[in-house]
Structure 1
Amino acid sequence: MPTFHDPSADAEEARQALRGLAHATIRIDDPDVLYGVVGELLGAARSLEQSLIQLAGASLTYQGRAAHDDGDLGLGAADAWAAADALRQAAQHVSAAETVLDQAAGHLGRIAWQPPQRQWVTVVFLQGEEAEPVLDLIDRDGTVVAIEQLRGYDYGDETTNAALANGHVYDEPPRGANDRQVIAGEYALTYSHAFGNVALYRAYTPPADTPAAGDGPQRSGPAQDAATADAARRALEERRNRVRGDGSWFTPDRITDIKRNRGLER
């Protein structure tokens, strides 16, 4: 905390604070903070300019007490004057920095940062007998429990890559005229008792250098498409090799248990 009376302690405090800021700004996750941070730095620059001017004045005030180690007062006074002159020049440079910081703050103050574009990837789509235990679960325990169960299909990057390679990425979670939809956090559950289907989608934020697209796969060239598709195929093969229970590669263990307990195995 600043003392407001001990220049040595407050100088150390300022150095540590700027060191912390240098580390904290290595990565900025939210651009909304830029305006406030630059504004604070603008205020800090003004205080720094004032401090430099005051330090220069102190060097001149005590010029008569300046001496080298050998007691030469003339050389000491010359160095005190030179230090004061250098501090004034530093203050002028800081004043120039204030001007451009003020410009930066003005530009940032006019920006309304938009949230990152969120898209949705398919985690799983079930219909017919595969969907029946999940629809029963929705009726009995609610959509939150159903979403938790269906999360068993989500293999993270594997699921995302497979969805991108196969074009299962959407600006909004797909929903038919007779479908019901519930969005909970990063997941969207869509289901229809009339048509006997259930689908789970997960929110996906494309990398900053990925061009925006509507419904359909993200394209970045034939070579990248082939690599993505190949990775997706390998991921799906690994999932098949992890199968237990009823032998259906697209049914996670928790849904398999529900089906077995309710006598719905095929």
Structure 2
Amino acid sequence: MATFYDPGADAAEASDALRGLAHATRSMGEHPGDMYTVMGDLLSGVRSLRQVVDQLATAHLDQRFSAFDDSGDHTAGATHALAAADELHQTGTLLDQAEERLDQAMNAAGRIAWHPDKPEAAPSRWVSVVFLQGEDAEPVLDVIDRQGPDAGIAYLSGWDMGEETMNDAMENGYVYNQPPAGMNDKVAEQGEYALTYNPAMTYVGLTRRLTDTPTSDDGLRPGGLGNSVGAGQASLSGGRGISFGSNHPTAGRAGTSSPGREPASGSAAGAGAATTSAGSWFAHPGVTAVKRDRGLGR
């Protein structure tokens, strides 16, 4: 912080600040909107510097009668003081020119409206592929615990029926602007999928990112963005040694490592279909059961 009374300390701080500015402006092109402000502060600094060199020149002139060289020669010392004052005056003249040029640069820069060189990305939208809880979620959580989240994503992607899954999600409003997750949930992403799971609450779900431009948000849940778009089907990582249970859509389809278009009998297909009375991503897994037991609705 400037002292406003200690020239030595303030000069050292100014030097450090300029070194910092020289370092920071190396990436100035990444923030073009800040350049005009930086130039304005720099112009103010040049004007202050002009005042400093002028005051230094005056001080050398005023104190020349106290100037000596290293051998104690006063005449030589006074001559050096006059020479320093003259050079400082020359520096001030050059700083006047620098100030004028910098001021003109600011005038030109002030007429620039910076636009991003790349279009902004469209908002992300995520559709629910499947949500499992309780006993239905335990096999998937075991896979995640043994082999990691990527294996869980590969497992759950078997419920992704492509456009059918997307249409079901749109119809039921399971479309979000980010993967839905509670405070204590864990989230892992791989490619177009996001895995949300909570071992303590025994639930797991998979969402898929949609990248097409949205055309409508009618009928969607609050915070969701979406429209009817095409969606491909992901392949499973069968080479990882993942064991798919009998309730998995690929059960009984020997010789293939990709999910079947139709789920096995009794399995859930499409967004939210495998929620087993969950009703919502954000509801506690036990809340729905309590409501049902108390006759408060399903």
**Superimposed CA distance per residue, residues 179-214 of structure 1 (whole angstroms, 9 cap, x where no aligned partner):** 878997xxx84344xxxx6769xxxxxxxxxxxxxx
Q: 1:145 & 1:44 partners in 2: Cα distance?
A: 46
Aligned to 1:64: 65
Residues 10-21 of structure 1 aligned to structure 2 (within 5 Å)? 10-21=10-21
The more displaced of 173-182 and 102-111 is: 173-182
Q: Say which of 114, 117, 120 aligns to 2:119.
A: 117
Residues 134, 146 of structure 1: 8 Å contact kept? no
Q: CA deviation at 1:136?
A: 7.2
How has the CA–CA distance of structure 1 residues 71 and 250 changed in structure 2, closer, same or farther, with 3 Å as cutoff?
farther
How has the CA–CA distance of structure 1 residues 250 and 136 changed in structure 2, closer, same or farther, with 3 Å as cutoff?
farther
Aligned to 1:127: 163
Q: 2:239 & 2:111 partners in 1: Cα distance?
A: 54
Q: CA deviation at 1:18?
A: 0.8
- Secondary structure of the equivalent of 1:26? helix
**Superimposed CA distance per residue, residues 17-71 of structure 1 (whole angstroms, 9 cap, x where no aligned partner):** 1111112212123211111110010011001001101100100111111111211
Q: 2:240 & 2:48 partners in 1: Cα distance?
A: 63
How has the CA–CA distance of structure 1 residues 258 and 89 changed in structure 2, closer, same or farther, with 3 Å as cutoff?
same
Q: 2:260 & 2:70 partners in 1: Cα distance?
A: 84
The amino acid of 2:58's aligned partner reads G
Higher relative helix content: 1
Residues 195-206 of structure 1 aligned to structure 2 (within 5 Å)? none
- Secondary structure of the equivalent of 2:226? strand
User: Which sections of structure 2, spanning at least 5 residues, go unmatched?
Assistant: 128-161, 182-186, 194-210, 245-249, 251-256, 262-268, 277-298
Q: 1:121 & 1:241 partners in 2: Cα distance?
A: 34
User: Which sections of structure 1, spanning at least 5 residues, go unmatched?
Assistant: 156-169, 201-235
Q: Say which of 152, 168, 173 aligns to 1:138.
A: 173
Structure number with bigger Rg: 2
How has the CA–CA distance of structure 1 residues 119 and 243 changed in structure 2, closer, same or farther, with 3 Å as cutoff?
farther
Aligned to 2:8: 8
How has the CA–CA distance of structure 1 residues 67 and 189 changed in structure 2, closer, same or farther, with 3 Å as cutoff?
same
Residues 81-230 of structure 1 aligned to structure 2 (within 5 Å)? 81-115=82-116, 116-120=118-122, 126-128=162-164, 130-131=165-166, 134-135=169-170, 138-139=173-174, 143-144=176-177, 152-154=190-192, 173-175=212-214, 189-192=225-228
Q: CA deviation at 1:175?
A: 4.4
The amino acid of 1:190's aligned partner reads G
Residues 239, 249 of structure 1: 8 Å contact kept? no
Pairs aligned (count): 201
Residues 46, 98 of structure 1: 8 Å contact kept? yes
Q: 1:82 & 1:182 partners in 2: Cα distance?
A: 78
Aligned to 1:224: none
Q: CA deviation at 1:133?
A: 6.2
The amino acid of 1:9's aligned partner reads A
- Secondary structure of the equivalent of 2:102? helix
Residues 49, 95 of structure 1: 8 Å contact kept? yes
Aligned to 1:54: 55
- Secondary structure of the equivalent of 1:25? helix
- Secondary structure of the equivalent of 2:81? helix
**Superimposed CA distance per residue, residues 127-165 of structure 1 (whole angstroms, 9 cap, x where no aligned partner):** 12x3366457735xx63576679965438xxxxxxxxxx
Q: 2:5 & 2:31 partners in 1: Cα distance?
A: 36
**Superimposed CA distance per residue, residues 215-242 of structure 1 (whole angstroms, 9 cap, x where no aligned partner):** xxxxxxxxxxxxxxxxxxxxx9997756
How has the CA–CA distance of structure 1 residues 146 and 237 changed in structure 2, closer, same or farther, with 3 Å as cutoff?
closer
Residues 53, 88 of structure 1: 8 Å contact kept? yes
Q: 1:75 & 1:250 partners in 2: Cα distance?
A: 97
Aligned to 2:140: none
Residues 67, 73 of structure 1: 8 Å contact kept? yes
The amino acid of 1:174's aligned partner reads T
Q: 1:182 & 1:103 partners in 2: Cα distance?
A: 54
The amino acid of 2:3's aligned partner reads T
